[in-house]
Structures are given as structure tokens and as C-alpha cells.
Structure 1
């Protein structure tokens, strides 16, 4: 477990102007419109991150390429209406919960009591239900030190069928080492499953600039969790060696994606959880993945305290959605690397537990580090 970071936050004082406000606090720009806030974090290297308290969404990440040219590498929209009205609700940039990923048939049992969730991804429950954490307004504050924003949300007992009042806090920090640090903290008054994750889609060529099949991916994982035809894990954790799921050495995402393989058929490509090689360091921050894009030189490294990572390569993108550049998001036009506990863990006794008890704290950290070479 990572020691809990204490962040002192203060209230923002806004001056009303044309229905919106804008000010600088702790070097974080804050704009508000009604209940929605937008935060822009900028570091000394020029990397810039924009996020909002709606869904705790990362809206854009401006990252330099090898020539120093900034480009937005996060898929998403430039207005709130598009997030609210998008077809298929792809979870661009959001925090998903109370349980990221799938729970089989929307059911689980805790201490002899069965709980039922919405079946929003038939025949299963996905990413917290119909109105998950990605579709609610969080309470936002700016930290008084560094480039950091603290977002809080109370998920009430019975919300989307989950037991317990769950107090959640997500802190986004931008460092001068070009890292986006995501710290998660939660407590509950009743035993409940929890599995929070960050659902940004990346394209290191720049959002809207074609597919991501040429990106070179390394996953620090010798095993993965195969699924059935409804994308629920079988409970087994076979080795990836000799399969299209072997990313232990850097490999183009598209190299093996069209091979005949039952798992690739079930997922429509890669949409699976990998079991991270933690080297016995359970709960400690360790490297999970590296992605390199040859044409721009941009590189993304992901480290996490979590035991797994879901690699999804935009199989359901089909060109209907248009992003900030006005360009369509084509098939496999972005990838997600969602650090997490394993899917369906409440129904899989062999998987690490995701049940949070009232006497415990849920503490997790993921770091996204950008560079260019």
C-alpha cells in the first residue's frame, strides 16, 4: 500500500463575468460554467493537461514530439455537450467506477447477501452501471502546492445497486518531469467492491491522426486473463509466450492483431487484462507498460500499484465520433491502458480481492510519464 498523501486544498474565489469565470490559483487555471469546472495544469516543460469535474475527465494532454512541437495525444471533445450526447458513450478520459470493467451477469455476493447491478453491457454490468462515476459531477478543489487538482465524490448506499456509502477522492498532479500522477483514495461504511481506473484513449501521433497500429507496445506481464465470448475472465492466467498476447518485448500493436485466435475474436482485437509482473512488490509502484510512436518520437510509460492492466485498442471506434481536431476517430484510432484489479473479481475467488471493508482504505496510484526520443 502507498502511504496516503495529505493535500491541503482551499476554496476558489470567482469573479462573475459573462456567466463564466477564470482565474489563476496555485498555477492552475480554473474556468467554471454552472456546476462544471475546467482545470488547466501546465508544467515548466510546457506540457499541458485540461480536465473537468464532470466524470473527472481528462479532456486533453498537450505533449511535445521529438522536435518540440506540441500535440494533443488524448481523444475527446472540446465541449461538454459532446461528452453528454456522444453515441456509444466511449468513456473518453473518464474515471470509471464504482467498478471498472465487467461484473458477470451484474451479480455478486458479499457475506451471504446477493447484490444486483444494471445490465448495461448485456449480459454483464460494465464500468459501474448506467450512471457510473464517468457521468456524475465531482467536487473539485485546487491544491495549494504544485499543479494538482483534488476531485471528490460520494457514491451513496445503493447507487447503481452497490452497497455502502463510498467516499472517493481522485487527485491529478502534473509534475515537471512530464508525469501525470493519479492518486485514488476511498473509504466505505459497508463492504463493497471497488475498482477505479482512468480511461483515457491515447494516440501518440495526435488525436484524430489515424490508427494506433504502428505504436510499439511493451507490457510488463508474462500472463493474462483470457475471457469467454461475453468478455468475462475464465479464471485462468496462462502465459502469453507464443501467443498474440505476448508484449513482453516492444511490438507493433498491429503485428498480430489479425491472427486467427479465439481470444482476439471474442475481443474484436485486444480488449483483455494482463497480470502485471510485480516481482513480489504487491501494492508498490512498478512499471506496467511502455508505448513508443516512431513517427513523432513520443513515448508513454505507465507505472502503477495495481496488479493488472487492461489493454484496449479502440476496436469499437468506427469513425462516427469526431474529436477536437474535427477529424473522425477511425477504427482503432486510440488505445487505452487501464490500470486495475482484474475484471469480475467479486465472482473470481482466485483473483486478488476488490472488496473494501469499512475499517480499511482503498489507496491506489498510477503514473503516466511522457517523453520523446
Structure 2
């Protein structure tokens, strides 16, 4: 079966949704690429890719059971995060003269949609075997986590010949802000740490952060010559990264490689930047690297950043493709 479905449990009922059944869908593209997606958090739980020897490698970190994903300490493994990815300083923003106060879930700030953000919700799934895709839908009510407007969100996972595509869409009933992204942690070896990986980022500037990863006033700073200059491929060993890089243009890519195993992942996105985190504070330190293609942090409060506003009648869209080669 190119797309199969199995139940993996029932949520503990701690969110506004109450107890919900969670399903795992498996997509098999027939080219050695296979994905497992859970309806909890619209989460990429597994992605199997053949390496240069033909061995199938799971390159996406995940938990073995639902309890791991529901754990409040889950660092958003594989999840769709929203309504707004990254952070909103002090959880406040103004829109058309009105101030909106969001849920404060990160030491006085708002992070990844709040305590009951999209990563903690069970989404409705619709498989499409013809397109080898899975569309997941979620309706977020007006006022959810403090955001204005009823938001209808979609995350589409689509297998392509050499990888996987993420597409996010949303519509709203009132002016609001939105940015959805995927939060997978990647390890191209399928085990161990990312220390033997190399990274190249098609961005020569990075956001300057203050407390709790909230950007400080002013433009992004150049990274040339710094410890976080990845404009050319560099080994990750010994380098801790928790930064947000602004991509230099729409054709720029992010490249992660594991030379020993031969797998290379190239990321193309229409987002303006990529958050990079080497999971140094994770329960399995440096077990994976998160490459989060998204809007710029605190964009609702930064008119100098690309807008994240969404009005009724508009459709928010964001697309990111992860392509793999065995070299």
C-alpha cells in the first residue's frame, strides 16, 4: 500500500481538544523514500532515505510513542509549529491599532504558538495516494492563545522523487499574523550525533538576539569571519548553534551532509530565513540539527522585517523542499 494508516494512541486530554485518537500515516514513494506522519502536531515522525550503499536510514528524530510527543519537554520534534513560529517579544503585538496579548510560555515571551500551539493539537488527515501526499487540517478559533481571527490551517506533506516537500497554507476571518513551519531535527547518519556532519547556509547575515532569543533593534549582522560563518561548508564538531540566518535570496539553499555515509540534504524554501539549532540542550545533546525555514523572529513587532500579516480573503502559503542525494 503506498499510503497506510494505523492508530498510535489517544491523547491525555490536557488540551482544549480533550482526548483524541492519534493516527500514523505511512507514505511510500517507491523510490526508497518513505515517510511516517502523525496527526498529533502534524508531525514528521520518520523519514527513511537510502544511503550510498542502499541502506535505508531514518534521518528524522522522533519518539517511539505518543507519551514522548505529549511530554511538555518535547522540543517540537518533527512538529508543525504555529500560529507563529519562533517568538513574539513579551507576547504582545499591535495590529490596526489594537494590542493583542498572547500566551506567555517562554519566560515572559511567546514561543512557537503558545502552550496549546499547533504542535500540541491533533489534526484531521486526508491522504492522496495519487499525489503521494497527506494533507492535515486544523481550525484555530478566534482568540486561540491570544491571536485574533479564526484561522484554518493546512500542512501538506508530499513525497518527491528524492525527498519530501512541506507546504503550509492558512486563511483567516479577521486580520491576524501567521507563520507556520516544520520543526524536524535531522541526523543523516540515523544515529549518534551531528558532529560528523557539515553545514552550508546560503545566508551571510544573522539576526542579533537579546534575551530569550528576542531580536534587538537594528538590521541583521554579517557573519563573515565569525564562528557562525557557514557561507561555505564547515564541520559541525565543536560548534554550538542557536541562531537565525537570513537567506541571501530566493534561490539560496541550506546544505547538510554526512560525508562518511554519503548522504547530502539540500533545502530550498520561499521563507526569508532559517533557524538553526544543534540541540545542545536536548535530552540527547546534538542528536540532530533543526533547520527551521520560517519568517524572521518577532516579525509581528518589526516593520523592518518581511510582513507576517494575513487578512480575510488572502491565502498564506509557505513551501520548503528537502532533497537528498547519496554521494
Q: Structure 1 length as normaliser, TM-score?
A: 0.82
Is 1:354 aligned with 2:308? Answer: yes
How far, CA to CA, are the matches of 2:266 and 2:197 in structure 1?
Answer: 13
Give CA-to-partner distance per residue, 1:179-213, whole Å, 9 cap, x none: 2011111110111111111000011111xx32212
Given the alignment of the two structures, is residue 274 of structure 1 paired with residue 245 of structure 2, yes or no? Answer: yes
Q: Size of the alignment, in residue pairs? A: 315
Deviation string, structure 1 residues 9-63 (Cα, Å, up to 9, x no partner): xxxxxxxxxxxxxxx4xx2112236622211011222221101111000111111
Greater percentage in strand: 2
- Does 1:342 find its partner at 2:327? no
CA shift digits 1:320-373 (9 cap, x unpaired) = xxxxxxxxx2x1111000000100001111101111111311011000111111
**2:260 maps to what in 1?**
295
- Counterpart residue number, 1:72: 58
Shift of 1:81: 2.2
Q: Is the 8 A contact 1:74 1:200 kept in 2?
A: yes
CA contact (8 A) 1:156 1:166 kept: yes
Alpha-carbon separation, structure 2, partners of 1:336 and 1:190: 32
Residues 282-337 of structure 1 deviation map (CA, whole Å, 9 limit, x = unaligned): xxxx342001111211111100011111011102113xxxxxxxxxx2x1111000
Corresponding residue of 2:79: 94
Unaligned runs of 5+ in 1: 1-23, 258-268, 319-328
Q: Deviations over 1:86-115 (max 9, x none)?
A: x52210000000011111011111011111
2:52–2:263: 8 Å Cα contact kept in structure 1? Answer: yes
Which one is further off, 225-234 or 341-350?
225-234
Residue number in structure 2 paired with 1:211: 193
What SS does the aligned partner of 1:214 have? coil
Matches within 5 A, 1:1-373: 24=1, 27-32=2-7, 35-85=21-71, 88-175=73-160, 177-206=161-190, 209-234=191-216, 235-254=218-237, 257=239, 269-278=240-249, 281=250, 286-318=251-283, 329=284, 331-373=285-327
What is the rounded CA distance, in whole Å, between the counterparts of 1:270 and 1:236 in structure 2? 20
Work out whether residues 30 and 40 of structure 1, in 8 Å CA contact, stay in contact via their aligned partners in 2.
yes
Q: How many Å separate the matches in 1 of 2:234 and 2:143?
A: 44
TM-score (norm 2): 0.93
Question: Tell me, what secondary structure is at the counterpart of 2:296?
Answer: coil
CA distance in 2, matches of 1:42, 1:84: 26
Give the Cα–Cα distance (whole angstroms) in 2 for the partners of residues 353 and 254 of structure 1.
36
In structure 2, what is the Cα distance between the partners aligned to 1:231 and 1:82? 25
Distance in 2 between residues matched to 1:104 and 1:167, nearest whole Å? 24
Question: Contact conserved, 1:94 with 1:199, CA < 8 A, in 2?
Answer: yes
CA distance in 2, matches of 1:161, 1:316: 29
> Residue by residue, what CA displacement relative to the aligned partner does 1:115-171 show, whole Å, maximum 9, x if unpaired?
111111112110000011001010100115221101011111000110000011111
CA contact (8 A) 2:68 2:74 kept: no
Q: Distance in 1 between matches of 2:237 and 2:81?
A: 27
Higher-Rg member (1/2): 1
- What's the offset of the Cα at 1:227? 0.4
* Cα offset, 1:230, TM superposition: 2.0
Is contact 1:288–1:309 with CA below 8 Å preserved after alignment? no
For the residue of structure 2 that corresponds to 1:205, the secondary structure is coil
